[in-house]
Amino acid sequence: MVRLEKKATRLYVLDTNVLIHDPMALYHFDEHDVVIPMTVLEELDKHKNGIREIARTARQVSRTLSDLTQHATFDDIQRGIPIPRASGHSGRLRFLCYDDLKPLDNLETSPDNRLLAETCRLRAERPDASVILISKDINLRVKAAALKVPVEDYFSDRAFDDSEAMIEGAQVYAGTDQRGTSLWESLNVEVIVERVEHHTFYQLKGNIPREWHVGMLVSDSENGAEFEAIVREIAPSSARLQLLTNYRHNDGVWGVHAHDSRQNFTLNMLMDPDIDLVTIAGNAGTGKTFMTLAAAFQQTLDAKLFERVVFTRAPIPMGEDIGFLPGTEEEKMSPWMGAFHDNMDNLLRNEEGESSWDSGATRQLIGSRVQIRAPSFMRGRTLNDTFLIIDEAQNFTPKQLKALISRAGRNTKIVCLGNVGQIDTPYLTANTCGMAAVVERFCDWPHAGHITLKSVERSRLALAAEELL
């Protein structure tokens, strides 16, 4: 979009969608001034009524503006109200109100066009400053570019830059270069091996790779690895690794076995009592839901570590909405639970290929421990002794996913499943969705782990569709 060489003084004009997207956006512009036009205040007023998320957010923004202005005099508002910021810098909040605003030539009257007219007039009045419009609306940014108005997207909500990618949660050393350097040849470290309570730990001292982080997989091969470990502790010159349990053959999880290092790491994280938050990314067919349900039933029905399994997902349609659904909460959620029912059918299939999922007794047994819940009704709850599965986590905003994760009570494990390449929620992208935010924020927390699965077991038709369509 159109940008310019920024001057020392900057005035950031915020669009309504920026404040709706991030109610704390006022505090994310360091020492620079934030300008809110009267058009934006009017749009916030229109959005504030109702119980939808957009209405709650609009009311939150209004309360924030009220807190900043309640002790300000008229002169303070004219000069700009100081905004205290965590960085230590203090910019100012300014309001833009014109009694004689002239519309832009050849453009009809609309909130977006009034916002552009207000921005253009402010730019003409302040030649000493860089006036920059901030908007999440792509069409508005294109119109601003056509009018030669400096405009930018709102970047503070991004978990990582466009040039980056979400961390994979794994470092595999086999064949990483043309020489095929192995794991121990790649590392310049001293190794001390110790055994503690049936677990094997590797204490490394030396030059620890910068890309390592707590809770990641370190392996010497994608398939048939001889060394697979999770990073438990890390410092600039030391690290502590714990060998993983091998779930490939006899030691499966509820009859499910790993096929490669990443799947084995996934099962280890799901079964690890020290890891409270697991995030699993990957394309369709990589086994995210299948392995998660197996681990949930192993620990709930067999080991009795949890009292229940709660399964939820964002009810976002891929196409047209089918409208009102009758019935109870679980019956309303049933159309969105296709992945759950498909995987249950496969989990309960015996060697003869017969599945007991259609049996009334089996459904009653599983149903007594499994709850299917809509995320809309999770606010205010505290989930104790619960294995919570959040499917399609990429369709949640960071705020929504925070509301779900903060429901965790005593002895609760949360697993977020998703694919940032398949987002159906409007205005969310691979680097602004809740899945990306959770992965990036928790990457150094010792009780969290993340992995991106890659191996895909899919039919020839599905693979051909991915490649050709």
Length of the chain: 469
Map out the domains of the chain as residue ranges: 10-152, 170-468
Q: What is the pLDDT of residue 76?
A: 84
CB 307 within 8 A of CB 439: no
Write out residues in the chain with pLDDT < 50, as ranges.
163, 176-180
Q: What is the mean pLDDT of the chain?
A: 84
Neighbouring CB atoms inside 10 A of 451's CB total 28
Q: What is the pLDDT of residue 163?
A: 43
For 146-211, the DSSP string reads HTT--EE---TT-SS-TTS----SEEE-TTSSTT---HHHH-EEEEEEEEETTEEEEEEEEE--TT
Q: What is the pLDDT of residue 178?
A: 44
Q: Which two tokens stand for residue 16?
A: 């309504």
What is the separation of C-alpha 153 from the centre of its chain, rounded to a whole number of angstroms? 19
pLDDT tens digit sequence for 451-469: 999 866 665 666 666 666 6
Q: What is the pLDDT of residue 30?
A: 81
Pairing of strands 217-219, 170-172: parallel
pLDDT tens digit sequence for 123-142: 889 888 889 999 988 899 99
- CA 427 – CA 21 distance, rounded (Å): 9
Q: Could you tell me which CATH number the domain at 10-152 has?
A: 3.40.50.1010
- CA 317 – CA 385 distance, rounded (Å): 31
- CA 276 – CA 446 distance, rounded (Å): 9
Q: What is the pLDDT of residue 90?
A: 76
Q: What is the pLDDT of residue 215?
A: 94
Q: Which two tokens stand for residue 228?
A: 């697979």
* pTM of the predicted structure, to 2 decimals: 0.78
Q: Could you tell me which CATH number the domain at 170-468 has?
A: 3.40.50.300
Q: What is the pLDDT of residue 175?
A: 58
pLDDT tens digit sequence for 160-208: 555 457 899 999 887 544 444 578 888 889 999 999 988 999 999 999 9
Nearest to 37 by CA among 55, 57, 56, 18: 18
Strand partners, 234: 239
Q: What is the pLDDT of residue 335?
A: 63
